[in-house]
Amino acid sequence: AAEPLAEGAVVLRGFALPAEAALLDGLQRVVAQAPLRRMVTPGGFTMSVAMTNCGALGWVSDRRGYRYAPRDPGSALPWPAMPQAFARLAVAAAARAGFPGFAPDACLVNRYEPGARLTLHQDRNERDFGAPIVSVSLGLPAVFLFGGRERSERPRRIPLAHGDVVVWGGPARLRHHGVMPVKSGDHPLLGGCRVNLTFRRAA
Ligand code: MD3
Ligand code: FE
């Protein structure tokens, strides 16, 4: 059930479903220690997506810029450890997509309430673009925008549902991407929101 999206990008539909209970348990533990919060962009806008992190490094944004940091700026404590179920799933998905030996040191947790979105962007804050990015969709469905190397390239729309895992590597790694505003709904496990786990090798 590996659908190639483009060179370097593979969708594994439902790949996270066997681990869903362990993932939700890990998610609860992470957000209890490092609460979700809406960060401010360097331009001064508050993002519609609420975020937190687990693992050695966490992605943060504020007026000074975007970066990876070893501590939660809200508490000054280290980010919570990456739950074993998270790391296992990310490593298995990467291997299935042709990236053996993926060793994520950062997991960004994105929570979308209805209307929340991510405008087209590139992920360029990581040191090594040779490592893939693994993303796990949970809860409400979303339409993912998958563009090109140039921002001007018209993006494709890819529906992503609860349990879908996407691996982005190789020539797909620096393509623009985003998420359309999430529509309201009621998911049996997550209620009225979408959660995306994004695993990266940041350092
Ligand atoms: C395609 N998050 O946190 S993950 C992000 O669903 C982000 O929350 C989205 O984009 C979300 O930066 C999408 C999927 C993703 C991540 C990185 C990519 C897709 C990508 C890098 C290159 C191409
Ligand atoms: Fe991104």
| Segment 93-112, tens digit of pLDDT | 999 999 999 999 999 999 99
What average pLDDT is seen over the chain?
A: 97
Is the predicted pLDDT of residue 3 greater than 90, yes or no?
no
Q: What is the ipTM of this complex?
A: 0.95
CATH class of 2-200: mainly beta
Confidence band, pLDDT 50/70/90 cuts, at residue 173:
very high
In ligand 1, the atom with minimum distance to the C-alpha of 137 is 6
The residues spanned by each domain of the chain are 2-200
| CB-based contact 183:34 (threshold 8 Å) | no
CA of residue 9 to ligand 2 center, whole Å: 14
Is the predicted pLDDT of residue 1 greater than 90, yes or no?
no
| CB-based contact 160:182 (threshold 8 Å) | no
In ligand 1, the atom with minimum distance to the C-alpha of 142 is 6
CA angle, residues 76, 63, 46, in degrees to nearest 5: 90
Q: Is 187 annotated as a binding residue?
A: no
From 66, 126, 198, the mutation candidate for ligand 1 (largest count of ligand atoms within 8 A of CB) is 198
| Segment 108-126, tens digit of pLDDT | 999 999 999 999 999 999 9
